[in-house]
């Protein structure tokens, strides 16, 4: 049969086979190139995502570290119209006993701090949000707190005759303020209003560090700084001029436990007391946090056990179906 084919037909068939093989080769080559480009693009995509995540983490971490060091976001503090000295000197971060993640208050320091507040601070500052009962089990016993409350006379009533009367304090009463109203407080302090100290730790930037630095930071004004008469210089107070004079001096109070009443010790104790006053539930909150961790970790361990040893065999079992043999049965 091959002998019957002409030379032109044989040449055309040979050229068709050559073109077909070359097309298959080119297709395989293009496929390999396509696969190679897809792999390269995937690697570049992963590398770009990794670089993006790394750059974002570095940027966020830098902003957080700057804010932790200087107390404000970068670049935003420079647009203030006021001078940086008007915001006060940034306080040092002190290692408070309750500052840790699972640390609690020093209750002996709270007791001493309440003594400093009662003998020194209570002459001008109120503590409106703290009741006598809040001290029970924290710094004093119930009998001690009841005796301290009974030393204060409270206006109550009306009685059966419709008149107000005076009675001794009870555990449910809130601690009395030094002044009957705001006008009396301003009149007694040269027009300045002594702030309530219940939430002073939460209300001031720097919290406990700021208050301790303020109480121990009274110095003479530096050269070139003029302070008005009746004002005092404290670099930690915004503006530097504060109407409250220095109130803590060595030996000002006599602690019941014999602790030396130095200026720094009294400032530390009253700061600890006011930190507790701003957050009386601090210790209980951390205790509940530990209990929650114990409960959730136990539940997680149980879920892992059930998943591995109970649900795992059921999920991974193999079901075999053997159809009945119907070859020997008649229809």
User: Which residue in 252, 297, 293 sits closest to 270, CA to CA?
Assistant: 252
User: Which residue in 96, 103, 127, 82 sits closest to 211, CA to CA?
Assistant: 96
3-state secondary structure of 83: coil
The packing angle between helices 263-278 and 207-216, to 10°, is: 150
The separation between CA 55 and the C-alpha centre of its own chain, rounded to angstroms, equals 25
DSSP 161: T
> Is 231 known as a binding-site position?
no
User: Which residue in 77, 87, 85 sits closest to 210, CA to CA?
Assistant: 87
Residues 6+ apart with CB under 8 A from 135: 114, 145
The count of C-alpha atoms lying within 13 angstroms of the C-alpha of 59, restricted to the half-sphere facing its C-beta, is 6
> Is 148 known as a binding-site position?
no
Rounded Cα–Cα distance for residues 226 and 80 (Å): 23
The count of C-alpha atoms lying within 13 angstroms of the C-alpha of 15, restricted to the half-sphere facing its C-beta, is 6
DSSP code string of 258-280: -----HHHHHHHHHHHHHHHH-T
> Is 175 known as a binding-site position?
no
Task: Determine phi and psi for 3, rounding to 5 degrees.
Answer: -70, -25
Contact 133, 317 (CB under 8 A): no
Residues 6+ apart with CB under 8 A from 220: 233
User: Which residue in 106, 85, 317 sits closest to 221, CA to CA?
Assistant: 85
Binding residues: 121, 124-125, 244
- Please state the residue numbers annotated as binding site for heme c: 121, 124-125, 244
């Amino acid at each position: 049969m091959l002998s019957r084919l002409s030379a032109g037909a044989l040449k055309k068939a040979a050229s068709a086979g050559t073109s077909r093989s070359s097309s298959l080769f080119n297709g395989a080559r293009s496929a390999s190139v396509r696969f190679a480009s897809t792999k390269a693009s995937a690697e570049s995509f992963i590398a770009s995502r990794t670089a993006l995540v790394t750059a974002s983490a570095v940027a966020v971490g830098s902003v957080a570290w700057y804010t932790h060091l200087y107390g404000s976001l970068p670049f935003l503090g420079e647009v203030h119209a006021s001078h940086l000295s008007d915001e006060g000197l940034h306080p040092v971060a002190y290692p408070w006993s309750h500052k840790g993640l699972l640390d609690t208050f020093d209750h002996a320091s709270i007791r001493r701090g309440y003594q400093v507040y009662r003998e020194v601070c209570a002459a001008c500052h109120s503590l409106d949000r703290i009741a006598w009962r809040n001290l029970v089990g924290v710094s004093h016993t119930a009998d001690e707190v009841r005796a301290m409350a009974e030393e204060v006379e409270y206006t109550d009533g009306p009685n059966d005759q419709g008149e107000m009367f005076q009675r001794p304090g009870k555990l449910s009463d809130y601690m009395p303020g030094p002044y009957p109203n705001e006008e009396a407080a301003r009149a007694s302090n040269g027009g300045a209003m002594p702030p309530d100290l219940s939430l002073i730790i939460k209300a001031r930037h720097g919290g406990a560090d700021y208050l301790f630095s303020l109480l121990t930071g009274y110095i003479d004004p530096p050269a070139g700084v003029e302070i008005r008469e009746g004002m005092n210089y404290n670099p930690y107070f915004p503006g530097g001029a504060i109407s409250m004079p220095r109130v803590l001096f060595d030996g000002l109070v006599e602690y019941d436990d014999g602790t030396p009443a130095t200026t720094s010790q009294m400032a530390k104790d009253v700061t600890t007391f006011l930190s507790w006053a701003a957050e009386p539930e601090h210790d209980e909150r951390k205790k509940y946090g530990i209990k929650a961790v114990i409960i959730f970790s136990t539940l997680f361990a149980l879920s892992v056990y059930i998943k591995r040893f109970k649900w795992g065999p059921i999920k991974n079992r193999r079901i075999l179906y053997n159809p009945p043999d119907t070859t020997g049965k008649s229809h």
